Structure 1
Amino acid sequence: MSDVMEIARLGLRGDGVTPDGVVVPGALPGETVRAAPEEGTRPPRARLDAVLTPSADRIAPFCPSFGTCGGCAIQHLAPAPYAAWKRDLVVGALARAGIEAPVAPLVDAHGTGRRRITLHVRAGEGGPQAGFMAARSHALVAIDHCPVTEPALHRAPEIARAVSRPLGGGGGKPLDVQVTATTGGLDVDIRGHGPASERARQALVLLAGDLDLARISLHGEVLIVRRPPEIPAGRSRLVPPSGGFLQATAVGEATLARLVVEGVGKAKRVLDLFSGAGAFSLALAEAHTVHAVEGEAGALTALDRAFRETPGLRTVTTERRDLFRRPLLAPELDRHDAVVFDPPRAGAEAQSARIAESKVPVVVGVSCDAGSFARDAALLAQGGYRLEAVTPVDQFRHSPHVEIVGVFRRPGKKR
């Protein structure tokens, strides 16, 4: 049974929301829709059956899988209101945390598209199928290609199906196949299978040649490197560990690095926390001495190699440390003129609390989650820092995820 509903606003996930809080995926503010309530959902949800009065901001989705695939949340909203909604995600999160700060307009950093895709592979009629999970479901939506990725990744589903066959084609354990576009070619890491036979491993090595892959790995273990899977990072060339963290788009990484460098200003000694493979460290090292701290050994090895192979950089030192269990303490932090932190989505609560106790003059926080960023910002504010600039960056186009760069300053502190 369907009901007629009025849509009042967009929710945090890009879904339409009625005045009484019913979530209607696919609906837009100002629309009158017919939707069927779903039983037992919290918050209450309804399935969109028809748009009776469309919004002037509604546009046609460009992907034929939109609405069934769980990858994109909002392809049906015009660019201007879409940008305003994404910026408001940051404004709203800060307001809920009691933080007042100027928030710049959204910076588009989609560029030529996402440079990494992770596909699920399952057995299907006629052989393995590769794609994304349907929204709020474990059902696989098989795709031919994903149009939000770089063109080099458009053959990723074909590759995922091919590399799954020596491992059972997804008929036993479901497989996840991560494909990354690099300057050396496509970099493939397969997860979910567990230990593989020597025969299967040799078959994957042969497939790397047949598919012209740069590198192929199984659960992060490299099987063969045919060409270095390099990622440009300013003047440097990084070879991240298989499956290691990578910013979503090349333009996104360059934009974030620029904002980080601008944020630290004239600081001489910069501490880069949760550095990953060092995209920010390498950009900072053009004019600053950098100490990078990261929990993953492979990422630090990649950073150290890129640093040594790039002439003209200032000093970059590295330290392996679990910053969730052992955050740097105030005396360690105070040796530096600026701190940069870019934690995973969960944020850096423990480390932010220690930074709040420090005397570091400038802190630049980078985050892909508005909620955890606002929580960490509140901790810094309680310690006396002022959030003086916030820039939202959109490298996750058509999704509710937004990257954030915030510059915090301790009043009266100069170095």
Structure 2
Amino acid sequence: MSTQTVKIASLGAKGDGVAHTVEGPVFVPYALPGETVAIAQVKNQGTIMSIATASPDRVEPPCRHFGPDGVGGTCGGCVLQHQAKAPYNAFKRQLLIDALKSQGIDVAVGETVESHPHQRRRMVLTVRRREKEIVIGINQAETHHVVPMVECPIASVGIIGRLDALKAISRATGCDAFRIVVTETVTGLDISLEGVRGGLKEQERRAVTNVVLKLSGIARVSINGEILIEPEKPLLDFGGARVVLPPGGFTQATREAEEAMAAMAIAHLGKAKRVADLFSGIGTFALRIARKSGVHAVESDEKAVKALDQAARTTQGLKPVTVERRDLFRRPMTPQDLKVYDAVVFDPPRAGAEAQCRELALSPVRKIVAVSCNPLTLARDLSILIKGGYKVVSVTPVDQFLWSSHVEAVALLER
């Protein structure tokens, strides 16, 4: 370990301050551009010891777990609570600009759609039993140490206000370590206990059930994907269509970001009569689009496909919705499959949709909406589509994960 004083030139892709030294770049968490900081350095990583010159963009973090001085909190959930809003939004936008430039794509990038505190309706928390105490929280960065959660300015009030209920359920399992995926739904909290080794014994299952029956506002508890108790169906609302969330199922982290992305997609689709929604999940986009257009939804996860299909069948006022279970990584839709659609929407996992975009590039589809949680794979996919004759109309960053280094994006393309 060595110590030195460095000047922070910029923020890296993970939100760390970057200092350029004679040995190469050094990454300094919690440092901001323009700051002069004394650091303890190990290889290319630096830890702030003191700040000689602070940035005017440095603000007081709103959460005690981030650290009172904003230079080294304990919780590993946020990385940029210490940065003012305007430069923070600009950082998210720049992540997208840099990714596009890496593929030689020079297009106008819109302003960041902002995220605000207490919007996260879906959280992944870690549970540990310490002697007789149950600890629920988020791991400290780069460690397995769980920081006991007392507050959380990103979590919805419906989640952070039920920590005692989550602890009571966790205590009843008798397990020492697992994860909780908790989602706030229309009908209450959906609580999915994951990584529970060996499942639960019968007496533990009864104990969890008894605890839940004494609580209000709990829609369902499942363990390793198996429903244990379900006082209410956990429902999500997609433009008036109610969808039952499968146990441990994926949904967008905030309702506000979801609605903003859906609105951009629907506006771009215009008067398209037939739309293919690829990597459709449980119908985030498909069920909203179906208010105006016929939709064919394609998804590989069987439970998601069934949830979408059931919602479409029980919602009045929708255009025809068909579903198909298909692995688009191994078997993308071909130009022949796609020729009957006026437009395509795709929202793949972080790996992107490379194989599908190669097929789309050869298709006659006129409009495409590309949604992504990874700027780098989005840029690669857009490059494929551009080479196939598509023009990028707009790209908009969406800050769904407040104070993180992650950014969503919606790209609109047409022939």
Q: Are residue 25 (structure 1) and residue 29 (structure 2) matched?
A: yes
- Correspondence 1:326-405 to 2 at 5 A: 326-405=331-410
Give the superposition deviation at 1:169.
3.6
Instruction: For 2:170 and 2:368, locate their aligned partners in 1 and report how far apart those are by CA, in whole Å.
Output: 45
Q: Is the 8 A contact 1:111 1:250 kept in 2?
A: no
Deviations 1:213-259 (A, max 9, x none): 11110112111211121111111111110111110111111111101
* TM-score after normalising by structure 1: 0.94
Matched with 1:37 is: 41
Give the superposition deviation at 1:105.
0.4
Identity %: 45
Give the superposition deviation at 1:272.
0.1
Instruction: For 1:92 and 1:129, locate their aligned partners in 2 and report how far apart those are by CA, in whole Å.
Output: 40
Matched with 2:279 is: 274
Q: Are residue 220 (structure 1) and residue 221 (structure 2) matched?
A: no
Instruction: For 1:288 and 1:110, locate their aligned partners in 2 and report how far apart those are by CA, in whole Å.
Output: 32
Q: Are residue 8 (structure 1) and residue 23 (structure 2) matched?
A: no
Instruction: For 1:81 and 1:384, locate their aligned partners in 2 and report how far apart those are by CA, in whole Å.
Output: 35
Q: Is the 8 A contact 2:117 2:154 kept in 1?
A: no
- Unaligned runs of 5+ residues in structure 1 are 411-415
Q: Is the 8 A contact 1:119 1:157 kept in 2?
A: no
Residue identity in the other structure for 2:282: A
Give the superposition deviation at 1:195.
2.4
Matched with 1:211 is: 215
Give the superposition deviation at 1:145.
3.2
Q: Are residue 189 (structure 1) and residue 192 (structure 2) matched?
A: yes
Residue identity in the other structure for 1:31: E
* SS state at 2:79 partner: coil
Q: Are residue 200 (structure 1) and residue 199 (structure 2) matched?
A: no
Deviations 1:93-137 (A, max 9, x none): 000111121111001144741001111111224422111111111
Q: Are residue 246 (structure 1) and residue 251 (structure 2) matched?
A: yes
Residue identity in the other structure for 2:397: P
* TM-score after normalising by structure 2: 0.94
Matched with 2:52 is: 52
Instruction: For 1:341 and 1:84, locate their aligned partners in 2 and report how far apart those are by CA, in whole Å.
Output: 26
Instruction: For 1:214 and 1:348, locate their aligned partners in 2 and report how far apart those are by CA, in whole Å.
Output: 34
Residue identity in the other structure for 2:352: G
Q: Are residue 134 (structure 1) and residue 143 (structure 2) matched?
A: no
Instruction: For 1:389 and 1:325, locate their aligned partners in 2 and report how far apart those are by CA, in whole Å.
Output: 29
Matched with 2:307 is: 302
Matched with 1:408 is: 413
Matched with 2:96 is: 90
CA RMSD after TM alignment = 1.4
- Unaligned runs of 5+ residues in structure 2 are 67-72
Residue identity in the other structure for 2:192: D
* SS state at 1:121 partner: strand
Deviations 1:11-42 (A, max 9, x none): 11111001231000000000000110014xxx
Matched with 1:413 is: none
Q: Which moved more, 1:361-370 or 1:190-199?
A: 190-199
- Correspondence 1:71-82 to 2 at 5 A: 71-82=77-88
Q: Which moved more, 1:282-291 or 1:129-138?
A: 129-138
The number of equivalent residue pairs is 403
